[in-house]
Copies of this chain bind each other. A is one copy, B any other.
Amino acid sequence: MPVPDLGELVGHAREGRPHAVARLISLVEDSSPQMAEIARALTPHTGRARVVGLTGPPGVGKSTSTSALLTALRADGLRVAVLAIDPSSPFSGGALLGDRIRMTEHATDPGVFIRSMATRGHLGGLSVATPQAVRVLDAAGFDVVLIETVGVGQSEVDVVRLADSTVVLLAPGMGDGIQAAKAGVLEIADVFVVNKADRDGADATVHDLKQMISLARRELRGPSWRQPIVRTVAANGEGVGEVVEALRAHHEWLTGHGELTRRRSARARAEVAAIALRRLHAELADLRHGDRLTELAERVVARELDPFAAADRLVTELKN
């Protein structure tokens, strides 16, 4: 493809034209050299969108829930974008295809934009590309940007937890998993949703969650957000209005307690550090036209040098 006129592209994206939005996301997803220029052009027009993360273990109905949430937010007149974060593992192809097909019910709605993002192979790819894509959607005037993780790896969860509000989806019959994983789940959830609430075991799941939350609260000092637990049957829309309401209440709490700025600062810290590290990584790999890292690695294989000593030399040379 020819090099696009960025000014024109940004202008069109700000008018909400889907092709321009999609093109800009492709450019930031592929780590194009224009990434920095795009961010600079978009930055003045951002800061308005609410960023909502949505995550949970496989089988809880994440894409059905995302779709139902989309419908509910649209009914309130909001423009909504969805970023579905693909796990870049080689074993994840099948599920995704299903997600994309299910999303087609919103395909003709101009107030909805849906995009899958996959970033294979390069260090920190997801943590650099995702905030850039959010920036594009924010500047394009979407009121809500939903980041849905399809995968459950650490990097996917890290991306979601940097949202303004994070929804953790669970479903009945996962009691053991919740127990074993409780620390992590409590840490990232602002709103709990127990989906498939018409199934056996929903009460037990809600009960387990309540107990976990109340135990965790005892360790807290001062006032804090009370993580609500909403029951839904996403497949028929039951309870989804309450999720929207819980998110609204959380957003109000965030702004009322200075927490929104704190979260956005944390997100910006992570973003700036990830960009800097990616650049440093490229510089390390390029030292002496790429020969230096290879040479040091070969000395490690030959057991002449341990890897920490090799890394020390690399860092020293990078700085000189």
Residues of A within 8 A of B (CB): 35-36, 39-40, 42-44, 46-47, 56-58, 87-97, 120-121, 123-124, 131, 151-157, 174, 176-177, 179-181, 183-185, 187-188, 261, 264-266, 268-269, 271-273, 275-277, 279-281, 284-285, 293-294, 296-298, 300-301, 303, 305-311, 314-315, 318-319
* Assembled-state Cα–Cα distance A77/B192 (Å): 51
The docked-state distance in angstroms from the alpha carbon of A272 to that of B310 is 6
Q: Is the CB of B307 within 8 A of A91?
A: no
Are the CB atoms of B281 and A269 closer together than 8 Å?
A: no
Residue ID in chain B nearest A36 by CB atoms: B308
Interface of A is mostly: helix
| Chain B hits for A279, CB < 8 A | 311, 315
Chain B residues whose C-beta falls within 8 Å of the C-beta of A120 in the assembled complex: 154, 184
Minimum CB–CB distance from A179 to chain B (whole Å) comes to 7
Given known A265-B297, A268-B300, contact A181–B93 (CB-CB < 8 A)? yes
What are the residues of chain B within 8 A of A272 when measuring CB–CB?
Answer: 293, 296-297, 300, 307, 310-311, 314
Whether the Cβ atoms of B180 and A97 lie closer than 8 Å is yes
Given contacts A94-B181, A153-B156, A319-B319, 20 further A-B contacts (CB under 8 A): A43-B305, A46-B303, A47-B301, A56-B91, A90-B184, A91-B177, A91-B184, A93-B181, A97-B180, A123-B124, A151-B152, A154-B155, A265-B301, A268-B300, A268-B301, A268-B310, A271-B297, A276-B311, A277-B277, A280-B315
Distance in Å: Cβ of A40 to nearest Cβ of chain B:
4
Known: A294-B269, A298-B265, A298-B268. A157 touches B90 (CB 8 A): yes
Known contacts A265-B298, A294-B269, A308-B35; decide if A89 and B43 are in contact (CB<8 Å): no
Minimum C-beta distance from A215 to chain B (A): 16
30 contacts between A and B (CB under 8 A): A36-B306, A36-B309, A40-B309, A43-B303, A43-B305, A89-B157, A90-B157, A90-B181, A90-B185, A90-B187, A92-B177, A94-B180, A97-B176, A97-B180, A121-B154, A151-B153, A153-B153, A268-B297, A268-B310, A272-B307, A272-B310, A273-B285, A273-B314, A275-B308, A276-B314, A276-B315, A276-B318, A277-B277, A277-B280, A279-B311
